[in-house]
Amino acid sequence: MKRNVNLFLILLLIFPAAVLAEESYTFDAGEIEKKPYHFGGYVELRPVLYVLDRDAALYKLQYYQDPRSTFIEWNGRFQLEGSYEKGIGSVFVKTNTDLHYSTFANGNERTAIFDGYGTLKPSPSWKFEVGKKTLKWGKGYAWTPVNFIDRPKDPYDPDLPIEGYIMATMDYIRSFDGPLKTFSFTPVILPVYDHINDDFGVNNRINAAGKVYLLLYDTDLDFIFAADGSRTTRMGMDFSRNITTSFEIHGELAYIKDYQQPFLDNAGILQSRTQNVVSGLMGIRHLTTFDLTTILEYYHNGMGYSADDMKNYYNYIRQGYNRYNSTGNAQMLNVAQNLATGGYGRLSPMDDYLQLRLSQKEPFDILYFTPAVTVMFNLDDQSYNITPELLYTGITNLELRLRAGFIRGSRDTEFGEKTYDYRFEFRAGYYF
């Protein structure tokens, strides 16, 4: 016995790997057991510091009653989602609660059901859904001109979840051999009534829309339409294709009939023009062998304002601000704020933009670390916004992001007249 123990110890010294057991990897059956229900969620804290531009027109519009140089905004987000599946049917619900507190506007909270729909899937070729959801049509990263149905996304943070609309949809899918590999058709019915999608457009309408998708010669192609209803008739198409395995090209084209645009003329009189407009986007995405991703997109916004339109708007605000200071009458500023809730206040309100985004995965072998920089350039007035960011995902289910925004532009330009010159944001998000 003693000899056996001595022999073991000698072998252990000479061949430790051979004697000790190899690491065994476990895979618990409970990890893959499918339950009919699922619960999960996401919680986020996002403080933001703004360094304001007191000479900017939009600063005067927003802070004329409470001037300041900086302010801090504390934002929280809490999302809960759950699903239940039985046979060919399932239900999915996602709620979103946004909390804001700032040194300017105190606190507010908004809770909404972002998604809440029932699904029937009788076969892989057919799916029927009714409820509140998003469609996410389009191939663009920062902008999607063919997004005729969903709420617009934030081009400065395009990956943020957005609230859906109540609709009924269907997917019909067919696969083939040959150059046409896939065909699918997705019709959409979207009602607009009191308390049902009432921010979509004109009330008391049933809206019809649809998308045809083809995978043809290894190219994703979509043909999209939205009939006249709460909004005017729109048609569009998009595509996405790999030119090489690491180089992708995509584009969108949208035609909007009878688009009505309110605008201020150079006398400060509110006018309206109705015209057919065309919006488009072209973009590329490239990945290098050392994991640098480049996304470059050009966007033409057919519903946008010209440089002269924006100059008239900024002049109107400055006149309103001067009148308020001399008489206390804020009427012009109130009109300007109403216009800001429409096209003038939209993100990317002007005609032509270019966005470049560079992100480098794990530089210098720093695991789970991705720095990036995004530059958005307004081609009409040569103003721009630079957003560097650092992202860390090294802790399971936790995402940490630090972002800054640097705005540059002269007077009467989009970025030159924004409320702030600098913006610093930290975001901590946890999934469960």
Partner 1 sequence: MLKTMIFLMTFLMAFPAYAVDGKKLLEQVDRNLNPESYEAYRKLINIEPDGKKKEFTMYSVKKGQDKIAVLFLAPASDKGRSTLRLGENMWLNIPNIGKPIRITSLQSVVGGVFNNADIMNLDYSAEYDVEGVSEAAGNYLLLLKAKTKTVAYDRLKMWVDKGKKLPVKVECLTEASMLIKTLYFKDHKDFGGGIVRPAVIETDSPLYKGYKSVMIFAKIKKRVFKDEVFTLTYMPNLESLR
Q: Least distance to partner 1 from the beta carbon of 386, Å?
A: 23
Q: How far is the CB of 368 from partner 1 (least distance, A)?
A: 7
Which one among 159, 199, 327, 341 touches partner 1, defined by CB under 8 A?
A: 159
18: helix, strand or coil:
helix
Q: Which is nearer to partner 1, 20 or 29 (CB)?
A: 29
Q: Which is nearer to partner 1, 242 or 331 (CB)?
A: 242
- Which window, 24-32, 43-51, 58-66, 322-330, contacts partner 1 (CB under 8 A)? 24-32
Collapsed DSSP state (helix, strand, coil) of residue 167: strand
- Among residue numbers 267 through 326, which ones bind partner 1 (CB under 8 A)? 285, 287, 289, 291
- Other C-beta atoms closer than 10 Å to the C-beta of 216 total 16
Q: Does residue number 29 form part of the binding site for partner 1 (CB under 8 A)?
A: yes
Stretch that binds partner 1, among 6-14, 130-138, 275-283, 352-360 (CB under 8 A): 130-138
How far apart CA 400 and CA 430 sit, in angstroms, is: 9
Interacting residue with partner 1 among 4, 123, 327, 341 (CB under 8 A): 123
Name which of residues 376 to 415 contact partner 1 (CB under 8 A).
393, 396-399
Q: Does 245 bind partner 1 (CB under 8 A)?
A: yes
Decide: is 213 part of the binding site for partner 1 (CB under 8 A).
yes
What is the SS3 assignment for 150?
coil
Residue listed under structure tokens 């083939």 = 176
Q: Among 76, 82, 116, 161, indicate the residue that binds partner 1 (CB under 8 A).
A: 161
369 pairs with which residues across the strands?
392
Q: Which among 196, 243, 245 is positioned nearest to 219, based on CA atoms?
A: 243
Q: How far is the CB of 100 from partner 1 (least distance, A)?
A: 21
CA–CA dist 423, 5 (Å, integer): 68
Backbone torsion region of residue 309, taken as left when φ is above 0, otherwise alpha when ψ lies between -120 and 50, otherwise beta: alpha
Binder to partner 1 among 2, 34, 195, 273 (CB under 8 A)? 34
The three state secondary structure string of 236-300 is: EEEEEEEEECCEEEEEEEEEEEEEEEEEECCCCCEEEEEEEEEEEEEEEEEECCCCEEEEEEEEE
For 293, other C-beta atoms within 10 Å of its C-beta total 16
Q: Does 358 bind partner 1 (CB under 8 A)?
A: no
Tell me whether residue 241 or residue 346 sits nearer to partner 1 (CB atom): 241
Of 363, 361, 320, which is closest to residue 339 (Cα–Cα)?
Answer: 320
Three-state DSSP state, 190? strand
Q: Does position 220 bind partner 1 by CB under 8 A?
A: yes
Residue type, 220: D
Using CB under 8 A as the binding rule, whether residue 240 contacts partner 1 is answered as yes
Site for partner 1, residues 42 to 61, rule: CB under 8 A:
none
**Contact between 125 and partner 1 (CB under 8 A)?**
yes
Q: Which is nearer to partner 1, 92 or 259 (CB)?
A: 92
CB neighbours of 313 closer than 8 A, spacing ≥ 6? 57, 264, 305, 336, 339, 344
Determine, following the binding rule CB under 8 A, whether residue 32 of this chain makes contact with partner 1: yes
CB atoms within 10 A of CB 39: 11
Q: Which of 91, 99, 113, 173 binds partner 1 (CB under 8 A)?
A: 173
Least Cβ distance, residue 243 to partner 1 (angstroms): 11
Residues linked to residue 50 through DSSP beta bridges, in sequence order: 71, 423
Q: Is 218 in the site for partner 1 (CB under 8 A)?
A: yes
Please identify which residue in 46, 132, 139, 357 interacts with partner 1, judged by CB under 8 A: 139
From candidates 8, 15, 19, 40, binder to partner 1 by CB under 8 A: 40
Residue 58 CA to residue 318 CA, distance in Å, equals: 9
Contact between 138 and partner 1 (CB under 8 A)? yes
CA distance 163 to 97: 11
Interface with partner 1 includes 98 (CB under 8 A)?
A: no
Contact residues for partner 1 (CB under 8 A)?
25, 27, 29, 31-32, 34, 40, 85, 90, 121, 123-125, 127, 134, 136-139, 158-161, 171, 173-175, 181-182, 184, 186, 213, 215, 218, 220, 240-242, 245-246, 248, 285, 287, 289, 291, 362, 367-368, 393, 396-399, 431-432
